[in-house]
Amino acid sequence: MSTPEPLQNAPISYMTYEKETDLLPAIKLIECDLSEPYSIYTYRFFVHQWPQLCILAHTEEGEKTSCVGVIICKIEEHRRRMMDGYFADDREVLMRGYIGMVAVDKRCRGRGIGRTLVAMAVERMREAGAEEITLEAETGNRGALAMYEAMGFIREKRLYRYYISGADAYRLKLWL
Amino acid sequence: MSRLEDDQQRHTRSSSLVSRDTHGNEWLDITELMTLGTSELQVGELLKPESMTLYTALTSMEVMEPRLDMGMLTEEDKIEISKWDLDRVLTLREVLWITEKLFYCEMTWHNSASLLQTLYMCNYFTVQEVPPLVGCRRAENCGRDVVLFPMIFALGACCLQVWMEYLKENVYAEEDVHFGSQPVEFFRQFSHSQVVDMLDTARLYLKETQETCDDPREQAAAAVLLDYLEMRVVWLKSLVYLSVDYLTEDPGALDRSSECLKELQTKHKEFLLKPVDPELAVAVAGCFDPKCMRKYPSMAPVKPRPLLTHQQSHQAFDALIKGLSLIHPLLQAESVEELINFFADFANRQPTPLPFVRSLVVSVFLTNDSVLLRHSPVAFIKRAIREISGPYVWDVLECIEREPMQFASRSKRFAQMLGQDPMMALSRVDGFCQEAARNLMDWFRTMCQNAPRQRRISLKYLASWDVLQGDAEELDAWFYVVSCGPESRQPEEESLNPAFNPFWFSSWTYHMKLLLMENGLQAGVRLDLYLDYELPLIYGYSAQILQSHFDHLRRMQTMIASKAGQNSLFVGKPQADLHVGWVRRRVGDSACLQHLARWLVFIETQCQLATALWLVSHACDRLGITRAPWARRRLQGASLEVLEFCQKQESLESQAVRFALRFRSFSRLNSPTPLTFAGWMTTVGQLDESSASELFVHASRTLGKARKTLDEQCGNLIQSDSGGWQTKYQELRYVAVANAVALAKLQAAPAAMQCSALKVPGSQALVFRQMLVEMQLGELKNQADKNQATLSKSKAKREKKKKKRRAAKQEQEEQEQDAKSSMAAEWLAATDSLGASVAWSCCETSPHAPKWHQFSFAITKDNSGQGN
């Protein structure tokens, strides 16, 4: 197995999703880490409705620009099921941001690209009115958990057999 | 009419595009229509209805994309499938391979896979027509007809028994059971007796082969197949006897099921001890079709799932047998206390019992409005309340029911109640009991869900227990006012005063609610939901709840002891206890006090453990041994956005938000008074007067007390009534001892205990820690600024301005905090010194006590040179 060539020193720039051609390299990147692929409709569900919440990290590789990181999110109204003492009693819905997918090119890991993407997306969701942000991460994915927890997310609940592989997930939540 | 509609009509009329399949269905080729319909769309354009959700998108598939379209056959698939032939004459080695693989499929199905991902993959399992000579010795293809098919029929019969249980929907679809595919008629072709007869024939054939066959490998395969056959027969019998219908109708079924399970366990153990020859079974090409879902177009397409291995399958089978063995003690329980302990133990079993076991436990506990197959839920709940609240109120109620007039003549105080309506008291209590029964039944059912769902549902149900407690308080106040009569002074006011009113019903409800809260917090430990930095908060909060619980039980104990014997006034004819179920038997004062004493020991020692772990985790947090993740992560190279984000997490505001999120289920309860963040900070502030070393010492003493309580008091209590307490007490004792040993190890290390950091008061240490975190972040920000400088020129300019502003601000702050910083640096040096001598191994839970943390300090180096 060939070791990926590191891209440690190449500068990183961040841009917002604009068109379908931006999506294809991002899908390629995300699928590297997935045991099962998402259908194209899943990606389009996100990026067509919330293009501003799809942020891409690019770097120069020789003469071409490569996508080395991506975050895909959404923000929607969420019906409250539990009085939680934080939001006003008469509120039946709240705005919930959701981080659907995050991926960083293996060659660029350790440079804070994932954290930056998350921080940027959280800020955008906050500006869009999000009151809380949630996501799911596999219980064994220590790297992802450490990243989100360093940013203040807490493990709200555990989801039994959440993935096709039978692995559990944590629902992580950040209250804004 | 639009061009598209016109094209569509022309397309539909074109009969050449219509084809028929072998089942007579007509299919229309819509390729051309799709091309036309999508020609005006932009690349990537998505047309979707409002109703399309993320779930819809996630479950959508791309037709003819082999990774997503599970019905699509590739050329390789076609070649593989064509290798299988139903008429192939099977050797016993081949039958063994199929049998073993089917066993792995079955166990994978029990592990929440779909039938399509497991058993339906086997082509023999899904044949349209069974060969005519199945089960007949005169068949030519004996391996197939005499051995394999009868084994498959028996497997199908077992699966059907399990499926019938799943249909009760006691466990959750998707998480526990896949209802997308269901057993086909194939499962029902033969009755159990026909299946057993065929297995008898197979047994004879296999024995004969063992004795007469010339091929020793075939002989060996026959021996292994015989083992599988014997286990299958007993497994089928066990499942039949354990079905709720059978248990309800046949009183002897429980004992027979128990015997079968014991026999099965023995056979399985013996089987596992035999040497395994991996070369013995011979694969049959094309026999298992991983894309079998294409044959069932109405069933949800699921992606193939890896089967359990040989070892995992047998472990799962062992877990099934052990899990089902719990049905016997469940049905033998003779007190609600014992059942609460049974379900608590069941809920905490690791790994989580398989869905079938959990479902059956629920069914046996509650089916057709019957608890444990014979008791009414209302009678059961009354028994539950009696065990905690004592006989007083129940004797009064029963006396009214039996002899209302005589009762009135004997008691002036209760005549008032009869004056209103003697039966009203009874109906009001019954109404409450029905409501309480719903809550308690839900709770027991919840304990049989998978562990994460247990916690979620328990916390959700807290609100209904809170409402129930309100109802119970009203009932108690009413009962007290009515029963005290006119001679009592100001009964209305007294009715709300716990010093006068025993609060029989609400006391029980509050006890149960507190148990639910404690379980909810402890379940988070088991599920690994709390990070190290949250432990002081979790254990501090737990200690407060447990203290409330202890105080509550103590009050009840005093109240019941004070009422002991008073009820004799009201007791009419003695009840014929021997002929009624245990739920209807009287619970006397002494029995009730014994119940309470056991609960008190349990709650008191838990409170002590929680307090000790709170002190230890607080001290570790203060010393910097544990750090919040945003403070301990290496952030070099991180962007400013990230650094600022992390810095925010240390603020009090962020801490308050996390506190609210963590305890939001408790924040709306009427009782116990919810702990606010401000209240929590005040509580923590009380620890400031003690140094870390004092906290460790205090924690050690508290652990010692817990252990002493368990050692001294539990022996007697366990002897008088086991009630399932033994395991619980042992778990707590393990926690007390393991943590006491860890602390003793720390306290025995002079370098650790003489470290100056240990002597620093809490408030000062926390200020230092915050300062150091900020200093660290400041340094990292500078580092990040350098990284940012490599960005584009315009961005770099903006950053430069920002950097200037930040530098100026930082300089000002640095001047202000200069003095404090040197103290903080000293503290840091001290904690570094401590870190050099004490290695903190992250506290973890143990299989012996999954709901508690076990701290661990490894003394790696002793600076004093005394060693350890």
Q: Report the residue of chain B nearest A121, measured CA to CA.
A: B641
Range with the poorest average pLDDT among A95-99, B301-305, B359-363: B301-305
B308 contact residues in A (CB cutoff 8 A): none
For residues B521 and B765, give the distance between their C-alpha atoms in angstroms, rounded to a whole number.
28
Q: Strands, E, within chain A: which ranges?
A: 12-16, 54-61, 64-79, 93-104, 132-138, 154-159, 169-175
Of A9-13, A55-59, B568-572, which one has max mean pLDDT?
Answer: A55-59
Query: A8 and chain B: CB distance < 8 Å anywhere?
Result: no
**A34-76 pLDDT per residue, tens:** 767 888 989 999 999 999 999 999 998 777 889 999 999 999 9
* Cβ atoms within 10 Å of B27's Cβ, excluding its own: 10
Burial pattern B114-123, b for ≥16 Cβ within 10 A else e, equals bbbbbbbbbb
Confidence band of B270 (pLDDT split at 50, 70, 90)? very high
Confidence band of B561 (pLDDT split at 50, 70, 90)? confident
Residue B1 has pLDDT above 50, yes or no: no
Is residue B338 within 8 A of residue B728, CB to CB? The reply is no
A173 contact residues in B (CB cutoff 8 A): 661
Check residue B835 and give its pLDDT.
65
Say which of A85, A116, A118 has its CB closest to residue B667: A85
Confidence band of B125 (pLDDT split at 50, 70, 90)? confident
Check residue B9 and give its pLDDT.
61
Sign of torsion, CA B334 B335 B338 B344?
A: positive
Check residue B634 and give its pLDDT.
55
Confidence band of B866 (pLDDT split at 50, 70, 90)? very low
From the centroid of its chain, how far is CA B745? Answer: 34
Check residue B225 and give its pLDDT.
97
**B142-198 pLDDT per residue, tens:** 999 999 999 999 999 999 999 999 999 999 987 888 877 777 676 778 889 999 999
DSSP code string of B52-80: --HHHHHH---TT-TTT-TTPPPHHHHHH
Report the gap between the CA of B347 and the closest CA in chain A (Å): 14
Say which of B60, B638, B661 has its CB closest to residue A41: B60
Check residue A84 and give its pLDDT.
59
Q: Report the residue of chain B nearest A112, measured CA to CA.
A: B638
Question: In terms of pLDDT, which residue wins out, B592 or B467?
Answer: B467
Query: B48 and chain A: CB distance < 8 Å anywhere?
Result: yes
Residue-range domains of chain A with CATH: 12-175 (3.40.630.30)
A149 contact residues in B (CB cutoff 8 A): 531, 629-630
**B381-435 pLDDT per residue, tens:** 999 998 888 777 777 777 777 766 665 555 555 555 555 566 677 788 889 999 9
Query: A142 and chain B: CB distance < 8 Å anywhere?
Result: no
Determine the average pLDDT of the residues in B447-466: 93
Q: Label residue A15 left, alpha or beta by phi (over 0 means left) and psi (-120 to 50 means alpha).
A: beta
Between positions 22 and 51 of A, the ones with CB within 8 A of B are 23, 36-42, 44-45, 48
Between positions 416 and 475 of B, the ones with CB within 8 A of A are 450-453, 455-456, 460, 463
Check residue B554 and give its pLDDT.
94
Determine the average pLDDT of the residues in B252-271: 96
**B648-675 pLDDT per residue, tens:** 887 888 889 899 889 988 988 998 999 9
Is residue B240 within 8 A of residue B161, CB to CB? The reply is yes
Residue B492 has pLDDT above 90, yes or no: no
Residue B489 has pLDDT above 50, yes or no: no
Query: With a cut of 0.95, is the ipTM above it?
Result: no
Query: A149 and chain B: CB distance < 8 Å anywhere?
Result: yes
Those residues whose C-beta lies under 8 Å from the C-beta of residue B745, and which sit 6 or more positions away, are B857, B859, B868
Determine the average pLDDT of the residues in A110-125: 92
Sign of torsion, CA B314 B319 B324 B325?
A: positive
Check residue B728 and give its pLDDT.
85
Question: In terms of pLDDT, which residue wins out, B423 or B39?
Answer: B39
Backbone φ and ψ for B512, nearest 5 degrees, come out as -70, -40
Helix (H) or strand (E) holding B853: strand B849-859
Question: In terms of pLDDT, which residue wins out, B863 or B24?
Answer: B24
B531 contact residues in A (CB cutoff 8 A): 149, 154-155
Q: Is B852 helix (H, G, I), strand (E, B) or coil?
A: strand
Eight-class DSSP state of B42: P
Between positions 70 and 89 of A, the ones with CB within 8 A of B are 74, 81-86
Say which of A115, A155, A175 has its CB closest to residue B638: A115
A42 contact residues in B (CB cutoff 8 A): 54, 57-58, 60
**Token pair listed for A150:** 């360093």
Q: Do B792 and A13 touch (CB under 8 A)?
A: yes
Query: B786 and chain A: CB distance < 8 Å anywhere?
Result: no
Residue B840 has pLDDT above 70, yes or no: no
Q: Strands, E, within A49-168: which ranges?
A: 54-61, 64-79, 93-104, 132-138, 154-159
Residues of chain B above pLDDT 90, percent? 42
Q: Do B641 and A119 touch (CB under 8 A)?
A: yes
Q: Do A151 and B630 touch (CB under 8 A)?
A: yes
Check residue B395 and give its pLDDT.
74
Q: Which residue has the tokens 């059942």?
A: B339
Determine the average pLDDT of the residues in B502-513: 91
Residue B841 has pLDDT above 70, yes or no: no
Residue B571 has pLDDT above 70, yes or no: no
Check residue B499 and give its pLDDT.
66
Is residue A170 within 8 A of residue B672, CB to CB? The reply is no
For residues B158 and B111, give the distance between their C-alpha atoms in angstroms, rounded to a whole number.
15
Is residue B429 within 8 A of residue B476, CB to CB? The reply is no
Q: Do A84 and B664 touch (CB under 8 A)?
A: yes
**B545-557 pLDDT per residue, tens:** 999 999 999 998 9
Q: Do A45 and B46 touch (CB under 8 A)?
A: yes
**Token pair listed for B743:** 């602390």
Check residue B776 and give its pLDDT.
63
pTM of the predicted model as reported, rounded to 2 decimal places? 0.86
B530 contact residues in A (CB cutoff 8 A): 155
CA angle B543, B547, B551 (to 5 degrees): 175
When the pLDDT of each residue in chain B is averaged and rounded to a whole number, the result is 83
Check residue A1 and give its pLDDT.
45
Check residue B409 and give its pLDDT.
59
Range with the poorest average pLDDT among B51-55, B413-417, B639-643: B413-417
* Cβ atoms within 10 Å of B251's Cβ, excluding its own: 9
Range with the poorest average pLDDT among A140-154, B17-31, B102-116, B451-465: B17-31
Q: Do A150 and B629 touch (CB under 8 A)?
A: yes
* Cβ atoms within 10 Å of B439's Cβ, excluding its own: 18
For residues A83 and B466, give the distance between their C-alpha atoms in angstroms, rounded to a whole number.
13
Between positions 67 and 106 of B, the ones with CB within 8 A of A are 67-68
Check residue B486 and give its pLDDT.
46
Say which of B67, B452, B654 has its CB closest to residue A157: B452
For residues B775 and B413, give the distance between their C-alpha atoms in angstroms, rounded to a whole number.
73
State the burial class of residue B17 (Cβ atoms within 10 Å of its Cβ: 0-12, 13-18, 19+). middle
**A138-166 pLDDT per residue, tens:** 999 998 998 999 888 999 999 998 887 78
B528 contact residues in A (CB cutoff 8 A): 139, 155, 158
Check residue B204 and give its pLDDT.
96
